[in-house]
Structure 1
């Protein structure tokens, strides 16, 4: 199957040309945010789809109708992709939900003039790397993944599409105090989904009743999402995503990186991580069984 991996280079960062144009990327930087907007931001493969579903269900007070009938890329369009403006024009009334992979140094200035709510989603970068590697195999709009060691090198050298994971997370979380921002991790969603729903609903000022919360938990569990065609990207044509090469939603597990990394690769990753994140004050909790997690 022919690949569609045309690349756009924007401000030194690689983006898939299939979905992004210079004009659409520039429009994102100039987007007129409203105070009622909800913006979900993440580096790829960090739990974006999960958070889109959480926000949808909280907004509908646990009613799954919208999440079962409207694709998530329509409900929460990607700000930097070319179709976003048309989707927003066609959307119904109510707070707009937007999604972005853009780093803070590009998108942050557009947010300064508004009080839009930003939900930043992060994940253990080792799991991000493994998930992104498998996604490259099925996404025909991304370059060939190559071998895992080659892919690992590109990740650590910030040469993959969407730029540096390290710069992305530091850029957004360092600005949390200046923005109306809530930081949620993939691991929190996995280990305490109900607690995450409570945090997000409180942040969005949409407190839920007990039965509404129960419905949210039910419909945004990983197994429920994996079976939902509006979420699992199975509706995307085969020439764009080769579904014979994998599933968009694979395992949903934390710690899957241990099935891919060699001891030497793990040591190298930790060394680069510690070097690049030495000025980051975040404490990362990536393992359920560890008291403080794998942290810096």
Structure 2
């Protein structure tokens, strides 16, 4: 049971199976491959749902792989100790997951052709889901009252940092450019522009 935390570059992480050394390795040494597909989201934003969709796409709709292989083996979490080890052994093309904010993402992503799926969920729903998840998962500290949890969430003191910054940093990166260009070509804009 890990109810202790550390801060890495301003972002809070649980001590269990996370470490500043592994996070630094992911950021500076992990090599993103051109055929990688990343499933990225702030915690409790639909990562598992998207993983199921991507897994079915990868297996041409055959649910056999999805039913027989647990999700963390189908798409390892690169920032999580055992997930990083699995990702390094994963044969290409790799399907990978992450809750990392963009500023902690592998630098090699910028010079790759990897595909990024960024899932966004209403922050009120994220808050409620994360609150209840924190109450049952021993990885997180006792969340206290919903009011105090809301204050931590709004101040950016939650797991994986500030929800707004997570989204805004993703919006400002290269992997947002193609989507933005396609929307603008249709005469549409991002709702937060």
Q: Same fold (TM over 0.5)?
A: yes
The TM-score normalised by the length of structure 2 is: 0.88
**Counterpart-to-counterpart distance in 1, 2:72 and 2:57:** 17
**1:159 corresponds to 2:157:** yes
Q: Which residue of 2 aligns with 1:139?
A: 137
Report the CA distance between 1:141 and its aligned residue.
1.0
96, 99, 103: which one aligns with 1:98: 96
**Counterpart-to-counterpart distance in 1, 2:178 and 2:130:** 24
Report the CA distance between 1:181 and its aligned residue.
7.1
111, 124, 127: which one aligns with 1:126: 124
**Counterpart-to-counterpart distance in 2, 1:16 and 1:109:** 23
Bigger Rg, structure 1 or 2: 1
SS in 1 for 2:144: coil
**1:7 corresponds to 2:13:** no
SS in 2 for 1:112: helix
Q: Which residue of 2 aligns with 1:283?
A: 191
Q: 1:88 to 1:161 in 2, by over 3 A?
A: closer
Higher relative contact order (CA 8 A, sep 6+): 2
**Counterpart-to-counterpart distance in 1, 2:48 and 2:141:** 22
CA contact (8 A) 2:2 2:16 kept: yes
Question: After superposition, where does 1:72-221 map in structure 2 within 5 Å?
Answer: 72-91=71-90, 93-107=91-105, 109-175=107-173, 178-179=174-175
Report the CA distance between 1:179 and its aligned residue.
2.5
Report the CA distance between 1:104 and its aligned residue.
1.2
Q: Show CA shifts across 1:39-90 (max 9, x none).
A: 1111000000011111110000011111111110111111111112431354
SS in 2 for 1:28: helix
Q: Which runs of 5+ in 1 are unaligned?
A: 184-280, 285-295
Name the count of aligned residue pairs. 183
15, 19, 22: which one aligns with 1:21: 19
**Counterpart-to-counterpart distance in 1, 2:13 and 2:126:** 17
Q: Which residue of 2 aligns with 1:70?
A: 69
Q: 1:108 to 1:168 in 2, by over 3 A?
A: farther
**Counterpart-to-counterpart distance in 1, 2:125 and 2:26:** 28
**Counterpart-to-counterpart distance in 2, 1:105 and 1:138:** 29
Counting helix residues as a fraction of each chain, which structure ranks higher? 2
Q: Which residue of 2 aligns with 1:293?
A: none
RMSD: 2.0
**Counterpart-to-counterpart distance in 2, 1:90 and 1:21:** 20
Report the CA distance between 1:28 and its aligned residue.
1.2
**Counterpart-to-counterpart distance in 2, 1:160 and 1:18:** 16
Q: Which residue of 2 aligns with 1:276?
A: none
Q: Which runs of 5+ in 2 are unaligned?
A: 180-188
